[in-house]
Amino acid sequence: MTAVPAGLLPVGKRSRRSAGTTVAAGFLGLVVLAAVFAPPLAPYPPDAVDLSSSLVGTGPEHPLGTDASGQDLLSRVLYGARTSLIAPVLLLAFASVLGVALGTLAAWRGGWVDTLVSRATDVMYAFPGLLFVVLIIAVFGAGMTTSVLGLGLAFAPTIAKYTRSVALSERAKPYIDAYRVQGMGGARICVRHLVPNLARSIAGYLVVLFGEALMSLATLSYLGFGAQPPSSDWGLMVQEGQSAIVQGALLPALVPGTAIAAVVVAFNVVGVRAADRLGSRR
């Protein structure tokens, strides 16, 4: 379904859309603050084991309950927000360096270079990203670093395709020809003028991709390929908490799962709005 520009929406829908974006942005701000100030906010160390408090429900001592090892879920979720937010940022930073460079190169040079880059990104784009990362992990071993680098390679073709599309339209603008007439080289034009002018659009697109990156990393941790114990990564917490479901304890899996879903939805809401506004300003 084609998105309707915000300016063409009725006033009521526009206000509801703005309110939803404000709520989502406020929630993400709280999550970031919780991650930054996790040490003073967490009532217990995230790796503190207390078997006497195993699978305790909500209460004054443990507001969100405990897991099978007696670890406080609130403390683990607060500390886990750090890994769950920083890892997607590193992933997208790595993917952006590769994707923007390839997309800009393809748009600027054209011809066989454009064809080669486009075919290579098409092959990578068609290959399932998680399967590609699993193959990398099988060679280099499990861990968050390998997951970030592997998913960065998997996300790069998507960013390259988007960069190429916006760079082609930017390259056709008169100021590019003006710089060429002045004798400025192609590399200098791209680095100093073309790419900076694309920054707003690319930034908006990366905000949209953040939720997908977070979900992908959580999936790898859930499968045992990403973060390893005793990490408080949300995906790993869901994997560790699923065994408690058969004992009737839902909180160990429900709490981190809800955190993942809420943050991903909030980033999608904010990302779409940011992409619209940044793209229109460009």
Q: What are the pLDDT digits (tens) for 64-103?
A: 999 988 999 999 999 999 989 999 999 999 999 999 999 9
pLDDT, mean of residues 193-216: 87
Give the global pTM.
0.85
The verdict on residue 238 lying in a domain is yes
The domain total for the chain is: 1
The verdict on residue 59 lying in a domain is no
Residue 245 scores a pLDDT above 70:
yes
143-180, pLDDT tens digit by residue?
A: 899 999 999 998 999 899 999 988 988 888 888 888 88
The verdict on residue 45 lying in a domain is no
Mean pLDDT, the chain, rounded, equals: 86
* Structural domain of 174: 9-39+70-281
The verdict on residue 24 lying in a domain is yes
The verdict on residue 97 lying in a domain is yes
The verdict on residue 60 lying in a domain is no
134-145, pLDDT tens digit by residue?
A: 888 888 888 899
The verdict on residue 47 lying in a domain is no
One-letter amino acid of 62: H
Residue 192 scores a pLDDT above 90:
no
The verdict on residue 215 lying in a domain is yes
Residue 82: give its domain's CATH number.
1.10.3720.10
